[in-house]
Amino acid sequence: MKAFIIDRYGKKEVGRIAEAREPELQDDDVLVQVHAAGVNMLDVKIRSGAFKLVLPYRMPLVLGHDVAGTVVRVGPGVRKFEPGDEVYARPDDFRIGTFAEYIAVREGSLAHKPANLSMEEAASIPLVALTAWQVLVETAKLKKGQKVFIQAGSGGVGSIAIQLARHLGAFVATTTSTSNLGWVKALGADVVIDYKKQDFATELRDYDVVLNSLGSDELEKSLRVLKPGGHLISISGPPTPAFAVDQKLAWPLKQVLRLVSHGIRKKAKRSGIHYTFVFMRASGSQLGEISSLIESGAIKPAVDRIFPFDSVADALAYVETGRAKGKVIIKVK
């Protein structure tokens, strides 16, 4: 099969289309023919080596964290899927590789594709929607009437998180550029901050939850937005000791994460705010819940551009600019 492969970590590493072995199935695996794959900033960061300490992949590596496609065959232990089913998923860590013609996905990480979405639309959903779900529903336990500030509302995670928060009955604030103000407002944001003209830290007050997806400056400024007892949840770091325990990282690495997150944890504690780092994990059951919201119309995909399979490198370069409005997709089949 054809796949997009990187041979080494590095900011100058581009990647290449090459022949690769078709995946072998374990008992609880499902072989999926890839129709479309979503492109994420996570792919860019893994290629550059930004996560090599916590996600030490072997090279050569096939990138790609979102898939929508058709079941080809299943392992002997699989019960929920059969050949011909249309499915989508965010494969497990260390089993990524959706920039390819086929991928083996663990049954527990797979869900049936929403009936009202195309393959390209479905491929835009898994990573960003699971991230939004695990931040807002699982970690924040966001309730009706609470106030949530979601950074970067026109991005992949932000565009879905706004819709999910509105469905949960929350009051939603977000940031975006001037050109995207109307679009983000239409997603359901109650307050939209033009980050080119306004400072969110002076505009927003007494929020219950912040979803931070930007840099360290925005992370610290978010403390001023939250009320005492509020929850600052970051998907861009720094990782915490609790994350190190969950990932079963080695003791030296645990100490490194303790040090890099010490500053923000201390400042948050001083302000009476809880700080959590969330690194999204694969979950077919949660994706099934998200499918129901999509089929009901509560959440709609946001697709910016669709690239052909032979232009994966161009798609990654476009995502790296940070200008994508929603998700970028690779059309494989």
User: Do 111 and 88 form a contact (C-beta atoms < 8 A)?
Assistant: yes
Write out pLDDT tens, residues 88-143: 999 999 999 999 999 999 999 999 999 999 999 999 999 999 999 999 999 999 99
3-state DSSP helix/strand/coil % of the chain, to nearest 5: 35, 25, 40
Percentage of the chain lying above the pLDDT 90 cut: 95
d(C-alpha 92, C-alpha 186), whole Å = 33
Please report, for residues 51, 161, 190, 220, the alpha-carbon distance to residue 181 in angstroms, rounded to integers and kept in the order given.
32, 16, 11, 24
Query: What's the pLDDT band for 259 if we cut at 50, 70, 90?
Result: very high
Q: Where are the alpha helices (DSSP H) in 80-180?
A: 119-123, 126-133, 156-167
pLDDT beyond 90 at 53? no
Other C-beta atoms closer than 10 Å to the C-beta of 157 total: 26
Mean pLDDT of all residues in 155-172: 97
Please report the domains of the chain, with CATH numbers, ordered by start residue: 2-125+301-331 (3.90.180.10), 127-277 (3.40.50.720)
- Residue 228 has a pLDDT of 97
pLDDT beyond 90 at 161? yes
Percentage of the chain lying above the pLDDT 70 cut: 100
Write out pLDDT tens, residues 196-251: 999 999 999 999 999 999 999 999 999 999 999 999 999 998 999 999 998 888 89
Say which residue, 92 or 252, is predicted with more confidence.
92
Mean pLDDT of all residues in 16-24: 96
- Residue 76 has a pLDDT of 97
d(C-alpha 319, C-alpha 293), whole Å = 26
Mean pLDDT of all residues in 37-63: 94
